[in-house]
Amino acid sequence: MELKRVVITGIGALTPIGNTKDEYWDNLSKGVSGAAPITRFDASKFRTKFACEVKNFDINDHLDRKEARKMDPNSQYGMVVGDEAIKDSGLDLDVIDKDRVGVIWGSGIGGLKTFQDEVVSYALGDGTPRFNPFFIPKMITDITPGWLSIKYGFRGPNYATVSACASSNHAINDAFTYIRLGKASVILTGGSEYGVVESAMGGFNALKALSERNDSPETASRPFDKDRDGFVLGDGAAALVLEDLDHALARGAKIYAEVLGGGMSADAYHITAPHPEGLGILKVMKDTLSDAGLKPEDIDYVNTHGTSTPLGDVGELKAIQAVFGEHAYKLNISSTKSMTGHLLGAAGAIEAVASLLTIERGIIPPTINHFTDDPEIDAKLNLTFNVAQKRDVNIVMSNTFGFGGHNTSLVFGKYKG
């Protein structure tokens, strides 16, 4: 069968460095760090006392108070970015065939704050089971696409993807696949995560996964730097409207870019550590290029997973060199997590937005906080350190990898008719 072409026509973003897609991009291109001491709870007894929180945000500015109380903040974030993306797309909700519109959403953990608060309340009580009647609906990961479908009346494919930090890239990949197979005309996709809560901070500290650079939070996320000491926890969300090209053209939609291909793989190695030879990462990038019908030299920029962990950063760059060969030295490569921190299940979604706006605006966002070269990293690679670089960008690859060995890649290209 002939596969349909898939384009992106709407974007929404809520991040630690901007509460709309344009605010996010403005600070991303300026190299602004979103890391700061935690304000959401008393972190004084935690080994890590800082994070990349969403700032200056009040859900009551976006949702009815009674409706918002039925949702975990994870879903609240999803509703906000979903609304921005739908409005940005210009979809006429009174005209489109809602049977052909779906929602596929990613989150690594879902309603963690709700789960934590309800269990703590029960544990501190007298043993009488007094649980919020919305406890289960607020907690379950799939409720966000459910809420979005209810709000807009979208009756097409509707579910959540859960693959740790690869979750929202899996969601976008699935949305792309459904549309190109003709099973939907439009899919609202992306991901959300409300990760800066006590249990997540404590859990990641126990894994020794987080940076403990409490004396300088804004420089703590330093991908590819010799002195990186772990990732910085963040939260937020992003949404994309993916659309059948013919459907988009018929309604005169603005097109940000085209989804050219995607790939998925497993390390089949360890629950938290990357494969030492990067086999899963090699496979997913090769499969993605093959799916898109592209050669390595067609790629201009790779938005890396780049979490600022000692093992992960080196492994990903070695895999990039193995896949791209000599062309690796002609690529721009960067990690936007140096600014946003790691949004867990929402990471792929906000990095997809960064990739799309890179294509649209011809600016490569930097990898900030580079101070010392790592002798294990090839110094000839252009890792876009500290300052954004102008470049005509036609095709971007965006990588995300998750605990459990889950790997996903996507390639986005400039729409050329």
- Which residues are catalytic, by number? 165, 305, 342
What DSSP assignment string belongs to 345-371? Answer: GGHHHHHHHHHHHHHHHTEEPPB----
**3-state SS, residue 227:** coil
Burial of 13 (0-12, 13-18, 19+ CB in 10 A): buried
CB neighbourhood size of 170 (10 A): 28
Angle at 72 between CA 69 and CA 74, to 5 degrees: 135
Q: How far apart are CA 377 and CA 360, in angstroms?
A: 30
Of 240, 271, 199, the closest CA to residue 346 belongs to 240
Q: How far apart are CA 8 and CA 42, in angstroms?
A: 40
Q: 242-266 b/e with 16+ CB inside 10 Å = b?
A: bbbbebbeeeebebbbbbbbbbbbe
Cα-flanking dihedrals φ and ψ of residue 21, to 5°? -60, -35
Fill in the amino acid letter for 220: A
Cα-flanking dihedrals φ and ψ of residue 79, to 5°? -65, -40
- Count of H-run helices and E-run strands, the chain: 13, 14
CB neighbourhood size of 307 (10 A): 25
Q: How far apart are CA 275 and CA 266, in angstroms?
A: 10
Cα-flanking dihedrals φ and ψ of residue 392, to 5°? -75, 115
Residue matched to tokens 């210009």: 90
**3-state SS, residue 237:** strand
Q: How far apart are CA 163 and CA 175, in angstroms?
A: 15
